Amino acid sequence: MTNNDILRRLRYTFDFNDSKMMAIFELAGHSASREEISDWLKKEDDTDYKNCSDSTFARFLNGLIIENRGKRDGPAPVAESKLTNNIIFMKLKIALDLKAEDVISILELADTSISKHELSAFFRKTGHKHYRECKDQILRNFLKGVQTKYRSQKSTEKPPAEEKKGFSWE
């Protein structure tokens, strides 16, 4: 999966507009213009398509973490210059404040079954003997499950009650 692909999926899942995307980048100390974001979101066969680099996408993920979890004390996290599926998976897990059980249930929404031990192998350090590389299929299914969970939550939320002259229409 490409960074652009994941960026498109996250934008759709959480219904981010251009201003929200720019604000998320800004939280991580990166100024992204509306045009840059538009070019990153285009399909690869479009002439204006631009590749979203690993460091740029890492900044977006860091901004998403800050947006959802709040700013951490101490120095701001440094954006990685090289991203792997494992790092992306970990950053999304942190941004969405998910526990192992939550991740497993999200994967099940995409018809993917995985044990807690298999899952923990994705989040280990690279040199660890139980480390396992996260393949595109796992990340794709995780994003599909996230989309199923969070898009359906948005559509089932009730719109705010209309108010007229001090009373509610509910």
As a whole number, the mean pLDDT across the chain is 89
What is the pLDDT at residue 73? 79
In the predicted structure, residue 118 carries a pLDDT above the cut 90: yes
What is the pLDDT at residue 96? 96
Q: Residues 84-99: pLDDT tens digits?
A: 999 999 999 999 999 9
Please report, for residues 19, 116, 163, the alpha-carbon distance to residue 145 in angstroms, rounded to integers and kept in the order given: 25, 17, 36
pTM: 0.85
Please report, for residues 22, 72, 83, 90, 154, the alpha-carbon distance to residue 13 in angstroms, rounded to integers and kept in the order given: 17, 25, 21, 18, 9
Under DSSP, is residue 81 helix (H, G, I), strand (E, B) or coil?
coil
67 burial type by CB count under 10 A (0-12 exposed, 13-18 middle, 19+ buried): middle
Tokens representing residue 113 in the block: 């079954």
End-to-end CA distance of the chain: 45
